[in-house]
Structure 1
Amino acid sequence: MHNSELQDQELLTRVSRNAVFSQDVDVLTHIFNEDINLAGWQRQLSSQIQQYLVYLIGSGFNQLRCITRLNDLVDVLQQELPEHAAKAAFVEDVYQVADMYACLMEAEELGVRLTKLTAAMCPRFHTDKLPCRLITTYAGCGSEWLPDNAVNRDYLGPQGHGKETRLYADQQDKIQQLASGEVALFKGDGWQGHENRGIVHRSPALAPGQSRIILTLDGR
């Protein structure tokens, strides 16, 4: 085995049989593996981006939602986001993340949602019905998810209403959480050949006064 292959294996962390993480951005390509429904790129945000996020949370910004082509995304962000000395660094980062996602998913258009949250947006564990969603928490607590081997999918959806704890009975310690700044691809139930096997996840609970800034991207 070559040294480069050994280094790649050392960088790759398989949290569970269905989820893989790495500090190497190429980990996102693992979402195409049949047995993977979560691929996460572990990264640190620059000080400039963090400065802008502090400003954004304290500003009157609430949400940006649009459907756009990748080439138009920078213009949309420049028009809709509040001005600050570090704005350009944040806009560039969002564009780079969107560019990676669009290339991987061969998406002609992107459904973009950049949101400030002060409460859990999706507090119940669920799966997405689309093929694949990118999610990154720029500020605040990251999304929570469950390994496949800790889930009883019979309690997902309407039939599981009021019985959520049975999803992961006796396995509360298996609840995982993305770190702030990590970029994750969540495979959904709509992925061809992966029906009803999407990653089970939810929004984290927030204490009074806490906020999150999240970005989600859907391909179209």
Structure 2
Amino acid sequence: MALTELPERVAGNQVDLDVRVAPAVHVSCPTALRQIHNRDTALTVWRRSLSDDVDAELAGLVLGEVDDILFASETGALETALPGAMEQAGYPGLPALTADIAMLARQHAAVTGDAKIRIRLEVVETDACRKFHSDYVTLRTITTYLGEGTQWIEVKARDMAGLSGEPEIRQLGVGDVGMFKGRLWQEAPTILHRSPPIGDTDAQRLVLVIDPAPDEDERAIRLEEKCA
């Protein structure tokens, strides 16, 4: 399926749309994230609450005792690759969190059609990515498990309104899932995002970022794109 196409049905199920505020779309189920295929849509947001099991696991997690995770995997190998990567990074056994990450990775792969994806799970404590931007990837999926969520703005709406002041900043909540089109899909972005500024606080964030695994000739560019 071409990335510019909008499927009327995905995997035999009707894709339901809850609220459309172009270029951002808010949906109520993970399969509807695929509305990102709409030519005019640059962001799909799945508003959700984390499960009680995930919340319980996160409540006992000490962020200072785990390392960041960055690895690429075939989606079919996630059941073994993901637990191994988390164990190596110092995470205790967190089956509910692991299952949630794997589910989001599969949703991402279903949208892009890529069999191989790259997963980054990191603790954020700085303002390294506080500028609004669009990433040099086709599609980026972001969710925040702990701390403040990713912030985003609508570029087109701001420009059309002729506003000279600050744009309206919107923010994903904890557990919300955002699929952001990157510059390799949408050359002129209509949605920009950034990490929320937390450098002057003691705040920490646990953030998951999922990208298509880069080809060798794209690797240098994509590895520089670490903002969420």
Deviation string 1:178-217 (CA, Å, 9 cap, x unpaired) is 11101111001110xx312252111101152211111111
Aligned equivalent of 1:214? 207
Q: Does the 8 Å contact 2:46/2:178 carry over to 1? A: yes
Amino acid at match of 2:102: Y
Residue 209 of structure 1 aligns to a residue whose secondary structure is coil
Aligned equivalent of 1:175? 169
Q: Does the 8 Å contact 1:188/1:198 carry over to 2? A: no
Higher relative helix content: 1
Match of 2:56 among 47, 51, 57: 51
**Greater RCO structure (CA 8 Å; 6+ sep):** 1
Q: State the alpha-carbon separation in 2 of the partners of residues 130 and 83 from structure 1.
A: 28
Aligned equivalent of 1:111? 118
Aligned equivalent of 2:224? none
Match of 1:195 among 176, 181, 187: 187
Q: Does the 8 Å contact 2:154/2:190 carry over to 1? A: no
Residue 197 of structure 2 aligns to a residue whose secondary structure is coil
1:1-220 equivalent positions in 2, closer than 5 A: 8=16, 12-14=18-20, 16-81=21-86, 82=90, 84=92, 87-152=94-159, 169-172=164-167, 174-191=168-185, 194-197=186-189, 199-206=191-198, 207-220=200-213
Q: State the alpha-carbon separation in 2 of the partners of residues 57 and 18 from structure 1.
A: 37
Query: How large is the Cα RMSD of the aligned pairs?
Result: 2.2
Amino acid at match of 1:169: S
Q: Does the 8 Å contact 1:150/1:171 carry over to 2? A: no
The count of residues paired between Structure 1 and Structure 2 equals 193
TM-score by length of 1: 0.79
Cα distance, 1:137 vs structure 2: 0.8
Residue 56 of structure 1 aligns to a residue whose secondary structure is coil
Deviation string 1:48-96 (CA, Å, 9 cap, x unpaired) is 21122233344511300011111222323322324546x1111111111
Change over 3 Å in CA distance of 1:27–1:59 after alignment to 2: same
Q: State the alpha-carbon separation in 1 of the partners of residues 22 and 176 from structure 2.
A: 19
Q: Does the 8 Å contact 1:125/1:201 carry over to 2? A: yes
Deviation string 1:22-54 (CA, Å, 9 cap, x unpaired) is 222233111000110000111110122112223
Amino acid at match of 1:209: D
Residue 210 of structure 1 aligns to a residue whose secondary structure is coil
Identity %: 28
Q: State the alpha-carbon separation in 2 of the partners of residues 57 and 23 from structure 1.
A: 31
Amino acid at match of 2:197: A
Change over 3 Å in CA distance of 1:118–1:142 after alignment to 2: same
Deviates more, 1:61-70 or 1:23-32: 23-32
Residue 184 of structure 1 aligns to a residue whose secondary structure is strand
Amino acid at match of 2:142: I
TM-score by length of 2: 0.77
Structure 1 spans left out of the alignment, 5+ residues? 1-7, 153-166
Residue 25 of structure 2 aligns to a residue whose secondary structure is strand
Q: State the alpha-carbon separation in 1 of the partners of residues 177 and 66 from structure 2.
A: 22
Q: State the alpha-carbon separation in 2 of the partners of residues 142 and 56 from structure 1.
A: 18
